[in-house]
Amino acid sequence: METFLAVLGDEIVDSYEAALPSLGMVDPVATSIELSIAARDFVVAQSPGLLQSKQKHGTTGAAVWRTSVKVAEWLASPKNVLFTHGVINGNSTVLELGAGTSGIIASKLAPSVGHVVATDQQHMLKLLRANLDENAKGSLAKGVSHDRRKAVRDRQRSSVVTTLALDWEEDDITKHLESHGLGSGVDLVLACDCIYNYALIAPFVQTCADVCGLRCSSDESATNNRPLTVCLVAQQLRQSDVFEQWLETFLRSFRVWHIPNDLYTEGLREGKGFALHIGVLR
């Protein structure tokens, strides 16, 4: 862990950071989007109707956001710092918060880890499962060798992607995850573009802390000497005030680092509007 944290540079101790420009959704009105991410083709169904609906629960996850696409590309890089420093590996369990309906992150991670749990509110899961099923075959872009295609298919068969309804404001996160076989914690908590207004900050940070706290308190984890859970938060900043309040709140529960730009893939580099932060529970 210390070697991994060292490559991130200085720990953040102040919540003030410069705002980045707003970007957003790939195409909010399309019912289907075709994407190619790191030599793999995806067809992602969207729900413009759900996105524009006025129902009580959140609907922003009904569309594909650029952050998810760029983070999926970054996770697929052979030089990705999470893999090269052993934060996650082929046996790891990754839990995604606010997965939305696209399933891009879970689908892209699946061949490289042991288990991915994609979570969101109940009304998002039907389309999320449909997209995961649609892209489960792992179709690869043209020009990729037969051996690589076979390797991807074989690796996917040995990994598991599951979905789980999770409401940050209403669920008892610890009990909910324990009841679904995750009581010993996970290796990585991942969230892409989950913070876009003030109301979400406190429940989001508390959920991150609750998930990371499972491994700290688990007798099984202590016995097996499992590493602490790492929390990765990826954002496209829209309002600097919201970001600063999130970071200030996050710092109360987590030690925090900004992932340096030289560890990003091209699409995430400075000036593109993206920021990735690592948190380790205090």
Chain segment 17-33, per-residue pLDDT in tens: 434 343 476 666 778 88
pLDDT tens-place string over residues 164-217: 999 999 999 999 999 999 999 999 999 999 988 899 999 999 999 999 999 986
CA angle 33, 94, 176 (to 5 degrees): 105
Give the span between the Cα atoms of 7 and 45, in whole angstroms: 38
pLDDT of residue 166: 97
**Owning domain of residue 139:** 2-281
Confidence at 53, pLDDT banded by 50, 70, 90: low
Query: Is the pLDDT score of 71 beyond 80?
Result: yes
pLDDT tens-place string over residues 102-158: 899 999 999 999 999 999 999 889 999 999 998 886 554 455 555 655 555 555 544
pLDDT of residue 151: 56
| Number of independent structural domains in the chain | 1
pTM of the model: 0.83
Query: Is the pLDDT score of 86 beyond 50?
Result: yes
Query: Is the pLDDT score of 219 beyond 60?
Result: no
Give the span between the Cα atoms of 92 and 256, in whole angstroms: 22
pLDDT of residue 276: 96
* Secondary structure class of 114 (helix, strand, coil): coil
pLDDT tens-place string over residues 224-238: 678 899 999 999 887
Parallel, antiparallel, or unpaired for β 115-120 and 254-258? unpaired
Average pLDDT over residues 71-94: 96
pLDDT tens-place string over residues 238-278: 788 999 999 999 999 999 999 999 999 998 886 678 899 99
Average pLDDT over residues 77-100: 96
Q: Domain with 223 in it: what CATH number?
A: 3.40.50.150
pLDDT of residue 17: 46
